[in-house]
Structure formats: structure tokens, C-alpha cells
A = this chain, B = another copy of it.
Amino acid sequence: MATIKDVAQAAGVAPSTVSYVLSGSRKISAETRAAVQAAVEELGYHPNAGARSLRSTRTDVLALALPLSGTGYLPVGGRFMYGLSEAAGRHGYLVLLVTPPGAGDAGAGLERAARSRFADAAVLMGVEMEDPRVAAMRVLDFPVALIGHPADESAAPWTDLDWEESALASVRALRDAGHRRVLYLATVEEDVDTRRTYSVRGIRGAERAAAEAATHVDVCHSSGDPAELYRRLDARFDAADPPTALAVQHPAAIPGILRHLAARGIQVPRDVSLVAVGSFPEDLGGLDVTRIELPVAEMSAAVTRLAAEAVEAAGDPGRSGGPSARHRLIPPRMIRGSTVAPAP
């Protein structure tokens, strides 16, 4: 593989000059620059990543800390990996996947990635309200940006869909259609239990909706086990006062829910209205569901920008006064489908 020396020799200049041409951090005569660029092209030269990072302490890599799999949001993980890889690429970053450790200690793989300087910053997925990884990275003085809206908004830069407003808007849309008994199906309970930000904030929004209006909102946790989920639904629909509408923050379950309800003779939207909270079109099996979509591309772009800023800030001296805690909270956008009808 060609090194900077090879390029320098081919161009008839010093290695340092090649470096300056490539970084653009010094004025170079047009002649010299052209010669160097020709040599670079000719030799297919790309600077060695290890040498560059050793010297400059920049790797041009973002570590993406994956959430534990096995939750109801598995498909989401894949979307963010794609989305972040693309957004990061536009900023000149590559994305390194960091799988969560088997047990206990939050951020073992992440900590290794940080301490070994595999990356310049970490992007955290599956963020919890009080996420231990944030503190762990702060100790290491390692920049982070979160996909998730943590309890302490100034703990680290973050971006998220406004799940609280999303849940609220979903219930309101059903209320405005005349529904007075709404079942809010939250995320799977593992996510609730670990206090994932989207779980907690979605439920919070549902509870706010319950408090504000003439609509009764029953909050029920979903389950990764369809049979268990259907039992919970049945309990509600067997009750004296069954819901007339559903807001569902577990979009992957929606096709199955519709099938289960249909088997009970319950049609959407004839008998029950439905809104999906934070979904992709693909989650819905081609159904034209009224929904709030998860803006993955926008969130990926935002978190990349925040991470890049955090990297810059870590280099600067003016940063010592604590994290700047910029964030981007994305308001919900409702997409009207055909699953909301006036209450019977």
C-alpha cells in the first residue's frame, strides 16, 4: 500500500508537503498542489487510519452503542444503523457498532472503544432516563450524543422525537373524533422497566392526555409475546366499558393486533379506531394507518451534528465549563390514514 513517502517521492516534494496539501491547512502553490494530487491519484493513496489517529487523535469514526436487542423495537435499531451510517458519512465519519456487554456493567464494549480511541465520540441508542453510559463516558472525557431524551436534559447533547407530545397528539386526535375511552398501548414492558426514554415519555404523554380531557385513557404495557399481548387486549375488550380507540406505541405488533381483533369480530375503524405512535410504514404491513412516524433520517442527521460538535468542543479549551447540552426535540407530525373514524 502506498504511503505518504511514496506520494512525496512521486511528486518530488517532502512528505510534510503532501500532508499539508491533503489537510489544506497551509498555503501551497498551485503547481505543487497539482503534482501532489496527481501522485495521490496515481498511487491510489489513502492515509493510514492508524497513523493518522495516533498522531492527530482524530479517528473520523463514531461509535454507535447499540441497545440490547430482544425488545419490541428491534427493527428500529436497523433503521438507525442505516440512517446514522449515511448521515455520518456526509460528515466524513464512519460508524463503528458497539454491542452491549452480556451483563451488568453498562458500557464495557463502549468503554473499551472509548479508552482505546477506536472513535472520536459515541452515539447512544436505547437511552434510559438516567443512563449510566452518560456518566461513564463523562468520566473518560469522551464525547457523546444521545438518541433519546434523558431526564437530565443538560447531561449530554441529545435528539429525539417528542414522544410525550406524540402520545398526547395521538390521544387528542382520537378524542377529537369523539372517542371517550382510549386504550394507550405503550412499549413492551422490558422497555418500560428499564426506563427507556421513549417508553417513559410516551406514557407520560398518555397520562397528560388523560388528565386534561373528558376522555378516559387506560395505559397498558405491550408484550413481545403476542399471546400475552392478546390476553391483555382481551381483558380490556371483555370489560364492561371496552375502549373505542387504540393508540399503539408498539407498531410492529399492529398487524397482529388487527388480526386478533378481527377474529373477535372487531373491525378497524368500524368498531375501533387506531393511531400508531412512532412507526415506519413497513411496520404496518402496508396498512394505511393514521400515525406519527419516527423521523429516523432527521434524528440521524441531528445526532451526527451533535456528535461532531461534541468532538470539536472536546478539542477546544473553552469547553471545560461542562457540557453545552445542545439538543433537538422533534415535534410530532401526524399522517392521516384510514384507521380513525368517529366514535360509535
Which among A13-21, A41-49, A237-245 touches the partner chain? A41-49
Within the complex, what minimum Cβ distance (angstroms) separates A317 from chain B? 18
Name A117's contact: one of B49, B118, B286 (CB within 8 Å).
B49
Instruction: Check B94 against A94 for contact (C-beta < 8 Å).
Output: no
A319 within 8 A of B: no
Q: Once the chains bind, are B51 and A66 in contact (CB under 8 Å)? A: no
Given contacts A51-B54, A54-B51, A287-B259, contact A85 B112 (CB under 8 A): no
Assuming the contacts A282-B75, A286-B226, asked whether A86 and B99 have C-beta atoms less than 8 A apart, the reply is yes
Check if A253 is an interface residue, CB within 8 A of chain B: yes
User: Do the beta carbons of A99 and B75 come within 8 Å of each other?
Assistant: no
**Interface pair A50/B117, CB less than 8 Å apart:** yes
- Residue among B53, B256, B259 making CB contact with A50, cutoff 8 Å: B53
Asked whether A48 lies within 8 Å of B116 as measured between CB atoms, the reply is yes
CB contacts (< 8 Å) of A49 on chain B: these are: 50, 53, 59, 116-118
Check if B282 sits within 8 Å of A252, measured CB to CB: yes
Given A78-B82, A96-B96, A286-B226, do A50 and B46 touch, yes or no (CB 8 Å)? no
CA–CA, A269 and B256, complex, Å = 17
Task: List which A61-96 residues lie within 8 A (CB) of chain B.
Answer: 61, 64, 66, 69, 74-75, 77-79, 81-82, 85-86, 89, 94-96
Let me know if A82 and B69 touch, CB within 8 A: yes
Query: Given the complex, which residues of B lie within 8 Å of A1, measured CB to CB?
Result: 115, 117, 140
Interface flag for A285 (CB, 8 Å) = yes
A109 contacts partner chain B, Cβ-Cβ < 8 Å:
yes
Nearest neighbor of A115 in chain B, beta-carbon distance: B46
**B286–A259 contact, CB under 8 A?**
yes
Q: In the complex the two chains form, is B99's CB within 8 Å of A285's CB? A: no
Give chain B nearest CB distance to A71 CB in angstroms.
Answer: 12
Take A46-B116, A78-B77, A259-B285 as given contacts and tell me if A94 and B86 are in contact as well, using a CB distance cutoff of 8 Å: no
Which residues of B are found within 8 Å of A59, using beta-carbon distances? 49-50
Interface contact A82-B89, CB-CB below 8 Å: no
Question: Which residue of B44, B50, B252 contacts A51 across the interface (Cβ within 8 Å)?
Answer: B50
CB distance from A301 to the nearest CB of B (A): 14
Q: Does A137 contact B (CB under 8 A)?
A: no
Residues of B within 8 A of A51 (CB): 50, 54
Q: With both chains docked as a complex, state the minimum distance between the C-beta of A262 and any C-beta of chain B, in angstroms.
A: 9
Apart from A50-B59, A256-B285: 14 A-B pairs, beta carbons within 8 A? A1-B117, A46-B112, A46-B115, A48-B54, A48-B116, A61-B96, A66-B85, A74-B82, A78-B79, A78-B82, A81-B97, A85-B98, A255-B286, A259-B286
30 interchain pairs, CB-CB under 8 A: A1-B140, A44-B115, A46-B115, A47-B116, A48-B54, A48-B116, A49-B116, A49-B118, A50-B50, A50-B53, A50-B117, A54-B54, A61-B118, A66-B82, A69-B82, A74-B82, A74-B282, A75-B75, A77-B78, A77-B82, A78-B81, A85-B98, A94-B98, A95-B97, A226-B286, A255-B286, A256-B286, A259-B285, A259-B286, A285-B285
